[in-house]
Each structure stands twice: as structure tokens, then as C-alpha cells.
């Protein structure tokens, strides 16, 4: 049986989300079709960011001059904030917290750009020109603090774009997780049942499958982090795994045909209910005098991946690398079929 027309859930884009809020990475989670997909912004629960300082001189006219030093800020994602750490040009250590949703000129407001920009704390120092060189005459201070020599707790920043793509933080293999899904499908095949258990020729015998534990149309999500790029950032990949039930292929073991007929209303309501009318008794079919009825359940797996990188959010259908359909068979079922025996009436 053919699979569905489309192989991915309804959303066609994803919402960029702070990576520090990932709580279900590397774990399959049930997903409601049509719900928002989160594309976690690049980051890491380990340190990441710029690695070397940027130094330059910006002299003013006359004898007055200023020295600037942009020191790298190391970042680390936590659930509610991004931890920032840096070392001032004079060796003083700085530590701060960044709001992941903020966007501004101060370090505490660098949450939005931290995912794809290297962040530097901007320090400045007053001086005068001597012999063509700017000679310092004061302490290193926060450039945005109007040269006040107070402790720097929230410096202004310089942001330099940092390119991160799947080429530098590629997606991990999803194969082990798909194997887990396939294992769950095979474990939920159920068992065949019938009514009547002793059938009669030329009358419909009903068959169905009890105990199938795989839902006919289910979704799960999985978040996997790519390896760190040279800056320590990772791309977080959100996979949506769609398991679709494609129906059952019945084999009634009848040499005269495999046609399905309308089940009798007396059979009631059952999953995968069908019926078959045998034309011959089962006594000579096999040594156990029964027909061997089998059912092949067919499943399809479709995978879509979402992620956020320096160029925005992305969506891609992924080849699961599994032969489709996935065929699952309950244990064969023995069905006895007899015939109506005439009973003589009258005197013997």
C-alpha cells in the first residue's frame, strides 16, 4: 500500500529558541502534529565564544588620545540565562549574566546575538601623544562608562559575526533512535483473533488483530546537538519522526482465493476487522487440520529536521535509511473450517 502524500508534519518553519532551554535533547518525545517546532539557536552548555582580543588605537586631534582594547567574552548557556566571563586588560576578572531574549548594546543585553556573533567587552584608556604614540595615563575602564574607573559589571560590547552552519557543526546520526522506533513497532504487532473460532464453508469468518500498541499516526520529536565548531558553539537539530500505519495485508491460506468479504455484524467492532469465506474445509490443508492465517502490518517512517544557524531557520526532509514499508507480522493463527452436517430425521 502506498504511503501518505506528504512525508512531514504540517509546520513549514520553526521558531528560533534559546538553546539553554533544551531539556529533552537526545530523547524521543511525543509530538502533536501541527504544533510549533523549536529551532534551538546555536550555543553550548560548555564555554564558547571569541578566543583572542582585538586591539587598536583611535587617536583624537591634538595631544589627547584614547586606547581601546576589545577583550573576548566566553559564554555558557544555562536554562534561564547565559553566563558571561571575561578578563579586563589589567587582568581583572569579570562575570555577568545575559538575558537570552534581550538585544542591546550592553553585555547583559547580548542574548539574541550571542548565538551567531563573537562578543567582546570594550575597554578604553585615556592618554596623550608622545613621539607619535598614544601613551596611557589612566586605568582601563568601560568605554561606555564615560571613563569612570568604577568596577565594570556590564560593559558595552563589540559584536563580530561568527558563521556557523552544518558544515562546521554537522548533524549527528539519527540511526540509533530510528532503530529504537522500529523495535517498538515490531514489539507491538498484537495477535490475530477470529469469530467463529470454528468456521463453516461458504460463510464469512471474521478476523481482526488484538493488542496493536503502535498508534496509526504518531509523531515524536528528538533534539540532537551537533559537535562544537572552533568557537565552541553547537547547532541543535530538532527531528520530527512520523510513524504512519499503511494497513494490513491478510493471507487466509485459502487455495481458492484470498478475497475479503463484508464482516457479519455479529462479529462486532474490532481493530483491522475483515472477513473471508472459505469454500473448502480445513481438514486436509495442513497436518493440524487448520488454515494458517497471517497478517502483515505495514508501517512507514518519515523524518523532518529543523535547525537554526547563521543564515536563519531551515527545514529538510531526511531519508531515514530504512526499507519501506516496515512489515510486522503477528504469530500465525490456526483457523478451523468445517461444513454443516446433515442430520437424518424420521424413524431409523
- List pLDDT tens digits, range 103-137: 888 899 999 999 889 999 998 888 888 877 888 88
Bridge partners of residue 87, in order along the sequence: 93
pLDDT score recorded for residue 221 = 92
Tell me the C-alpha distance between 117 and 101, whole Å: 15
Residues belonging to the chain: 348
As a whole number, mean pLDDT of residues 10-26 equals: 71
280 bridge partner residues: none
CA distance 36 to 33: 9
List 300's β-bridge partners, or say none: 244
Task: Answer yes or no: are the C-beta atoms of 234 and 225 closer than 8 Å.
Answer: yes
Label residue 293 by pLDDT band (50, 70, 90). very high
How far is CA 125 from each of CA 93, 106, 134, 153, 155, rounded to the nearest angstrom? 17, 19, 10, 17, 14
Give yes or no for a contact between 38 and 31, defined as CB atoms under 8 angstroms apart.
Answer: no
Alpha helices, DSSP H, located in 6-117: none
Closest-CA residue to 14 (of 336, 326, 306): 306
Better-scored residue on pLDDT, 223 or 140: 223
Q: What pLDDT score does 15 carry?
A: 80
Residue 205 has pLDDT above 50, yes or no: yes
Considering only 25-34, 123-132, 159-168, 235-244, which range has the smallest mean pLDDT?
25-34
Q: What is the mean pLDDT of residues 134-154?
A: 73
Indicate whether 149 pLDDT > 70: no
Q: What is the average pLDDT across 258-273?
A: 94
Is the predicted pLDDT of residue 11 greater than 50, yes or no? Answer: no
pLDDT band at 100 (very low <50, low <70, confident <90, very high): very high
Q: Identify the pLDDT of residue 17.
A: 83
Bridge partners for 46 per DSSP: none
- The pLDDT of residue 256 is 94
Q: Residue 145 has what DSSP assignment?
A: G
Confidence band (pLDDT; 50, 70, 90) for 148?
A: very low
For residue 43, what is the DSSP state? B
Give the pLDDT of residue 155: 87
- Flag whether pLDDT at 147 surpasses 60: no
Please state, for a pLDDT cut of 70, what percent of the chain lies above it. Answer: 88
Position 27 pLDDT exceeds 50:
yes
User: What is the signed CA dihedral for 178, 227, 310, 52, rounded to 10 degrees?
Assistant: 170
**Which has the higher per-residue pLDDT, 273 or 61?**
273
pLDDT, averaged across the chain: 86
What integer pLDDT is reported at residue 143 of this predicted model?
A: 81
**86: nearest Cα among 124, 57, 47:** 47
Is 26 in contact with 211 (CB distance < 8 Å)? Answer: no
Q: Is 65 exposed, middle or buried (0-12, 13-18, 19+ CB in 10 A)?
A: buried
pLDDT at residue 1, as a whole number: 36
Least confident span in 121-135, 169-183, 201-215 = 121-135
pLDDT of the residue at 189: 92
Query: How far apart are alpha carbons 136 and 124 in whole angstroms?
Result: 10
- In three-state secondary structure terms, 53 is coil
pLDDT band at 10 (very low <50, low <70, confident <90, very high): very low
Are 88 and 268 in contact, with CB atoms under 8 Å apart? no
Give the Cβ contact number of residue 336 at 10 Å.
19
What dihedral do alpha carbons 342, 343, 345, 348 form, nearest 10°? 110
Alpha-carbon distance values, 203 to 12, 195, 337 (Å): 51, 11, 10
pLDDT at residue 150, as a whole number: 52
pLDDT for residue 9 is more than 80 = no
Beta pairing, strands 291-309 & 312-318:
antiparallel
Give the residue among 33, 49, 11, 22 at the shortest CA–CA distance from 237: 22
In sequence order, what are the beta bridge partners of 77? 82
**Cα(60)–Cα(63) distance, integer angstroms:** 8
Amino acid at each position: 500500500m502506498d504511503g501518505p502524500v506528504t512525508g512531514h508534519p504540517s509546520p513549514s518553519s520553526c521558531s528560533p529558541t534559546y538553546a539553554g532551554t533544551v531539556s529533552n535533547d537526545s530523547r524521543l518525545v511525543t509530538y502533536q502534529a501541527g504544533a510549533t517546532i523549536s529551532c534551538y539557536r546555536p550555543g553550548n552548555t560548555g564555554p564558547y565564544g571569541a578566543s583572542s582580543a582585538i586591539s587598536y588605537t583611535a587617536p583624537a586631534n591634538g595631544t589627547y588620545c584614547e586606547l581601546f582594547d576589545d577583550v573576548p567574552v566566553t559564554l555558557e548557556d544555562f536554562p534561564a540565562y547565559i553566563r558571561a566571563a571575561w578578563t579586563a586588560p589589567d587582568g581583572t576578572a569579570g562575570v555577568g549574566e545575559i538575558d537570552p531574549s534581550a538585544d542591546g548594546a550592553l553585555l547583559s543585553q547580548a542574548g539574541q546575538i550571542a548565538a551567531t556573533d563573537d562578543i567582546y567587552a570594550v575597554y578604553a584608556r585615556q592618554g596623550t601623544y608622545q613621539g607619535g604614540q598614544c601613551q596611557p595615563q589612566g586605568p582601563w575602564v568601560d568605554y561606555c562608562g564615560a571613563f569612570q574607573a568604577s568596577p565594570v559589571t556590564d560593559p558595552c560590547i563589540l559584536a563580530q559575526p561568527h558563521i556557523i552552519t552544518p558544515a562546521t557543526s554537522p548533524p549527528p546520526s539519527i540511526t540509533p533512535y530510528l532503530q529504537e522506533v522500529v523495535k517498538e513497532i515490531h514489539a507491538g504487532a498484537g495477535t490475530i483473533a477470529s469469530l467463529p473460532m470454528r468456521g463453516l464453508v461458504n460463510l464469512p469468518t471474521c478476523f481482526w488483530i488484538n493488542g496493536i500498541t503502535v498508534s496509526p499516526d504518531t509523531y515524536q520529536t528528538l533534539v540532537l546537538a551537533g559537535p562544537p565548531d572552533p568557537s565552541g558553539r553547537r547547532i541543535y537539530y530538532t527531528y520530527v519522526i512520523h510513524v504512519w500505519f499503511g494497513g494490513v495485508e491478510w493471507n487466509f491460506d485459502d487455495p481458492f482465493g484470498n478475497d475479503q468479504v463484508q464482516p457479519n455484524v455479529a462479529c462486532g467492532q474490532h481493530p483491522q476487522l475483515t472477513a473471508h469465506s472459505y469454500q473448502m474445509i480445513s481438514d486436509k490443508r495442513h497436518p493440524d487440520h487448520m488454515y494458517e492465517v497471517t497478517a502483515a502490518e505495514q508501517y512507514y517512517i518519515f523524518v523532518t529536521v529543523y535547525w537554526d544557524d547563521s543564515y536563519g531557520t531551515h527545514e529538510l526532509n531526511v531519508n531515514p535509511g530504512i526499507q519501506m514499508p516496515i512489515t510486522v507480522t503477528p504469530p500465525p493463527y490456526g483457523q478451523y473450517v468445517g461444513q454443516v452436517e446433515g442430520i437424518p430425521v424420521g424413524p431409523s
